Amino acid sequence: MKITTMVRSLLVNDLPALKAVWTYLDPEYDKYTFDQEAQVDCESRLAVCKAVCCKLPFALSKQDVEEGIIRWEFGRPYLIAHGEDGYCVHMDRNTFKCTVRENRTVPCRGFDCRDNEKWKIWVDYEKGMINPELVEKVDREIEVIYNCSLREPTSLNHNLLFFHFFLIERTLLLII
C-alpha cells in the first residue's frame, strides 16, 4: 500500500486525530534563542488555573525530537506526551512546575494565556476568572487526540501506523 493510500485511509478512519495534530504544528524556532517568550506570572495564577496550559497538545519541533529530552506520545508521533490525567508528563503534579524548564519547547516558552485567541484560558485575566468552557474543551481535545488507548499496548490499531507514515511522508516532503 502506498503512503498516500495510507494517508487517505487515515483521513477516513482517524480524521479527528489528524485534524488535531495539524492544528498544533508550529513553525520551527531554535528554542534556546527564541526571543518571544511570554511574560506571564504563572506562580500567582496556578491556584486558579491548575496549569491548564500544560494540558494543551502540540507537535514537537525537529530540535525537540533530535535532542531527546522532551518525551512524545508513542502512538502519536511527535506530539508532546501526556499522562493519564491529561497533563504533560514533564509537569510536576505537586507543584505544577515544569521539570524540564531549561529545555522546554517553543510552544511552552511562547504561550501567553492572557489573551490567546485559540485557547482563551481566562474569562478575565486581571480578576483571575478562569474560562470553564475552555477547561472542558481542552479535556475533549485531549480525548480526541489521545483516545486510542495508548496506555494499553494490546489495543494499538492500524490507524496509528497510517498516522505514523503520514508524519514521515510530511517530514520527507519538508526536507526535499
Q: What are phi and psi of 123, to 5 degrees?
A: -75, -45
pLDDT tens for each residue of 29-46 = 899 999 999 999 988 999
Band of residue 98 on the pLDDT scale cut at 50, 70, 90: very high
Q: What is the pLDDT of residue 74?
A: 84
Helical segments of the chain, H only: 3-13, 15-23, 42-49, 62-67, 106-110, 132-146, 158-175
More confident residue, 130 or 3: 130
Averaged pLDDT score across all residues of the chain: 77
Cis peptide before 29 (omega within 30 of 0): no
Q: Does this model's pTM top 0.95?
A: no
Q: Distance (Å, rounded) from C-alpha 110 to C-alpha 142?
A: 20
Q: What is the pLDDT of residue 108?
A: 94
| Coil, helix or strand at residue 106 | helix
